[in-house]
């Protein structure tokens, strides 16, 4: 048994945040059905249907694992009728359209609630369903800007450093949506009713920054790039280049960790000056010179022998081959009938009794269309007519 076994999810989303949310739900056992648009039916990037390279790329795509695929044209009356039949048997619908689009497609919450009062509709968008920015287009970089995060990343006197699309798309968006959906499922067990969950990526990023916002809300100055004690101001919470051009991260804030670090770094004269602003640059210079005397991995070997918070700064390939990450099953192997062994990132949360799993790799677009329609009671003739009318694919 898996945590969300028996929960049926319809995924109408397209870009990364929604598929990541349903990846989480699918990894934890939910039955996720992708509702995919026919080729050319949207203004978004269309997926090639019969491209060999695309098929192999899909096999390695974690966002499509543990899911089935139905191609359904929601712009057609027949497509909406099929969706409503699916909604009647489902628990969750997630969509990532701009506000107002689902109403035009006949799958807004009021409509779906009339079909199934227990349905949970999660709308995942950049700025949410309300507010002056609700209709604005955007991407991760814009949402982390509005939430105040981008302005914190980088060093003083330099432009903000643009991170990969992790904070808004995946953390503030997909992960928050998955969390909210699971909370709504728990609430439904008490109320007997579903509800509309409005997840904005800009909200999610600001939510992640609650402790940073605390100082400003109580009257303090906003932190800047490299000026906060957790973003580069302090010598014991920083990164240093090593002899081989690698980098080592240090996070030895607590007194005992700091004392150990000073001892290893021949810097015991700074033991009582960890938080002395007049010593910051002097200590950083001392550490910078010392770290240049050995390679990154040599330093990690040395520092890991004592109670010192330190870790090598990895590239992605190194992270995926680190012995700890492998021992934690954060890389899993699944067999694909055409491409052999496929490696993917594993599942974050570990459960003692009901662990999640990667049960299947990416489906082909529309791979399960016939099976889904047959399960809804449609005949072969009706399915053929739907195909001819481009209602399904």
Please identify every residue annotated as catalytic.
139, 169
* Beta carbons within 8 Å of 161's beta carbon, 6+ residues apart: 153, 154, 155
Spatial CA neighbour of 121 closest among 11, 37, 3, 217: 11
- Pull the structure tokens for residue 222: 């906003």
Query: CA dist 313 to 81, 196, 245, 253, 377, Å?
Result: 52, 41, 11, 18, 55
Strand order in the sheet with 31-36: 67-71, 31-36, 8-11, 92-95, 120-125, 196-200
Task: Catalogue the E-assigned strands of 270-322.
Answer: 310-312
CA distances from 175 to 1, 178, 197, 315 (A): 22, 5, 14, 23
| CA neighbor of 2 nearest in space, from 25, 33, 18, 19 | 25
Identify each DSSP E strand in the chain by its residue range: 8-11, 31-36, 67-71, 92-95, 120-125, 196-200, 237-241, 247-251, 310-312, 331-336, 340-345
Gap between the Cα atoms of 28 and 39, Å rounded: 30
């Amino acid at each position: 048994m898996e945590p969300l076994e028996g929960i049926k999810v319809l995924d109408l989303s397209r870009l990364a945040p929604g598929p990541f949310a349903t990846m989480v739900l699918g990894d934890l056992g939910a039955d996720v059905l992708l509702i995919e648009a026919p080729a050319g039916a949207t203004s978004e990037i269309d997926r090639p249907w019969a491209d060999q390279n695309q098929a192999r790329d899909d096999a390695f795509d974690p966002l499509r694992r543990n899911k089935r695929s139905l191609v359904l044209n929601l712009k057609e009356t027949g497509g909406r009728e099929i969706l409503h039949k699916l909604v009647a048997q489902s628990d969750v619908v997630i969509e990532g359209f701009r506000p107002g689009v689902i109403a035009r497609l006949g799958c807004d919450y009021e409509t779906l609630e009339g079909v199934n009062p227990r349905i949970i509709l999660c709308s995942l968008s950049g700025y949410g369903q309300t507010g002056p920015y609700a209709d604005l287009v955007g991407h991760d970089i814009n949402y982390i800007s509005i939430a105040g995060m981008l302005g914190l990343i980088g060093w003083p006197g330099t432009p903000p450093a643009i991170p990969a699309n992790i904070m808004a798309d995946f953390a503030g968006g997909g992960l928050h949506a998955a969390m909210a959906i699971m909370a709504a499922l728990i609430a439904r067990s008490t109320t007997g009713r579903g509800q509309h969950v409005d997840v904005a990526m800009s909200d999610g990023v600001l939510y992640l920054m609650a402790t940073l916002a605390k100082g400003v809300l109580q009257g303090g100055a906003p932190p800047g790039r490299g000026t906060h004690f957790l973003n580069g101001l302090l010598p014991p919470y920083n990164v240093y280049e090593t002899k081989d051009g690698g980098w080592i991260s240090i996070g030895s804030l607590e007194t005992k960790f700091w004392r150990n670090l000073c001892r290893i770094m021949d810097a015991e004269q700074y033991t009582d000056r960890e938080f002395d602003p007049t010593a910051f640059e002097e200590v950083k210079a001392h550490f910078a010179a010392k770290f240049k005397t050995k390679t990154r991995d040599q330093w990690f070997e040395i520092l890991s022998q004592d109670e010192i918070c330190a870790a090598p700064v990895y590239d992605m390939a190194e992270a995926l081959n680190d012995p700890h990450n492998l021992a934690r099953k954060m890389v899993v192997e699944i067999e694909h009938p055409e491409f052999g062994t496929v490696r993917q990132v594993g599942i974050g949360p570990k459960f003692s009794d009901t662990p999640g799993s990667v049960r299947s790799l990416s489906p082909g677009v529309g791979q399960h269309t016939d099976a889904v329609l047959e399960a809804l009671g449609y005949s072969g003739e009706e399915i053929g007519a739907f195909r001819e009318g481009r209602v399904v694919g």
